[in-house]
Amino acid sequence: MNQMMFNSHETHTGDGRRVAVWTLSSDQHNKHSLPIVIGSGFARRMHHFTSLATYGVHNGFFVSRYDPVNHVGLSDGDIWDFTLSDSLESLRAAVDWTCRYTGSDKVIVVATSLTARVAYELAAQSPRIEAVITAVGVTNIRDTFSKVFKEDYSSFAELPDHLEFEGRKIGPGVIQDAQEHEWWSLERCIDTLKQVRQPLINFIGSDDPWVNSDDIHKAFSAGDGGPRKLLTLERAPHDLGRNAAVAQTFLTYLMEELFALNQIEGTPSVPPFEVITQQALLERRIQRKTTRETESSAA
């Protein structure tokens, strides 16, 4: 593969908050393919998706990533203030920016876990999304939150002080926002999917303890606003990157779907281990240097 080109950019949400964006591309970029926008899962950052981005670029795509506002990562705000509505605005900003930057009318969104729910919502609203591919996508937020946090907050009359995920504290705003904007229910997700005319593809992990695959089947059957496809990765956990073999299977199938969506002939190829490793180290250094500097200045 020819040299990959990595760049840092920024854009803003509609109300002016800064969203950090990374792009990865190469001079072998297939000019006929649509750009890809990657939406990381909850509490994940751009550098956790090095492999996906590198696979994309290695197979001729232009790839954008972003960190949402009020989240971990390089954008404005702190994860304490995380809400799904902000997550939606961050994805919207990244999609709009990518279209402007590349001159493309449309993009394909690849979103993971909780961000899948947000991507479905944006697909119903934005003509700039040509298709959405999700991995371990959440359609029933109430159920997934109950599994992750061991409480069904949707029924709480009073908000909790905070939630905790992987050692990080998240304020009660996420619950309040979910209640006010009806993010909770599977039924509301199905209503959204009925309005999504674009193709949707979702990868299910058969060993995923946080996503009930029956809900996904129900959502994709009833939410039949357009073509729908489900792929179950057998013996795959929620974190598809944990098992390198699962990751490679997922990324290879994902590339095949991207080829089909772009009507590209041929078989996707796997980027060399060392290329991914070098890129992963580079991105971790950028992400961590900024994080450490921010923490020092805050202290």
Partner 1 sequence: MTQLNINSEDLLEHQSVPATDDLDYTIFGGESLDLPLSTQREIRETFVRSAFHQHIRGCSEYADFVARKNIDTEHVALDTIPVIPVSAFKEQTLTSLPVAQIEKWSLSSGTRGTQSKVGRDQKSLERLLGSIHTGMEMLGQWHEDQVDVVHLGPTRNEAGDIWFLYVMSLIELIHPTTHFVASGTLQSRQAIDRIIDTLHHSDQDIIVVGAPFLVIELTNVIEHRQLDIAAQDRLMVVTAGGWKRHSGMELTRAAFNERVCRVFGLSSDAQVRDIFNQVELNTAFVECSAHRKHVPPWVYASTRHADDLSVQRSGELGLLSYLDASATSYPAFIVTDDVGRVYEGTCPCGREGVTMEVVRRLTRAAARGCAMAIDRKTSALVPTEETDNESDDV
User: Could you say whether residue 272 binds partner 1 (CB under 8 A)?
Assistant: yes
Crossing angle for the helix pair 141-149 and 114-125, to the nearest 10 degrees: 160
Stretch of 3-11, 76-84, 94-102, 223-231 contacting partner 1, by CB under 8 A: 223-231
- Site membership for partner 1, residue 286 (CB under 8 A): no
As measured in angstroms, the least distance from the Cβ of 159 to partner 1 is: 25
**Rule CB under 8 A: is residue 292 a binding residue for partner 1?**
yes
Strands 163-165 and 168-170: antiparallel
Is residue 73 at the binding interface for partner 1, with CB under 8 A as the rule? no
Q: Is 177 in the site for partner 1 (CB under 8 A)?
A: no
Among 242, 269, 293, 294, binds partner 1 (CB under 8 A): 242
Assess contact for 217 and 137: CB atoms under 8 A.
no
**Residue 198 in contact with partner 1, rule: CB under 8 A:** yes
- The answer to whether residue 78 is catalytic is no
Window contacting partner 1 (CB under 8 A); options: 7-15, 52-60, 63-71, 217-225: 217-225
Our finding on whether 149 is near partner 1 (CB under 8 A) is no
Helix (H) or strand (E) holding 19: strand 18-26
Task: State yes or no: is 113 an active-site residue.
Answer: yes
Nearest to 130 by CA among 81, 189, 196: 196
Helix (H/G/I), strand (E/B), else coil: 111: strand
Min dist. Cβ of residue 87 to partner 1 (A):
20
Which of these is catalytic: 113, 126, 143, 239? Answer: 113
Among 8, 197, 209, 214, binds partner 1 (CB under 8 A): 197
Taken as a whole, the chain contains a residue count of 299
Burial (CB count within 10 angstroms: exposed 0-12, middle 13-18, buried 19+), residue 167: exposed
Q: What would the 3-class secondary structure string for 139-198 be? A: CCHHHHHHHHHCCCHHHCCCCCCCEEECCEEECCHHHHHHHHCCCCCHHHHHHHHHHCCC
Q: Which residues are catalytic?
A: 113, 208, 238
Applying CB under 8 A, which residues contact partner 1? Answer: 130-131, 166-167, 197-199, 201, 206, 217, 220-221, 224, 226-236, 242-246, 249-250, 253, 256-257, 260-263, 270, 272-274, 277-278, 280-281, 284, 288, 291-292, 295-296, 299
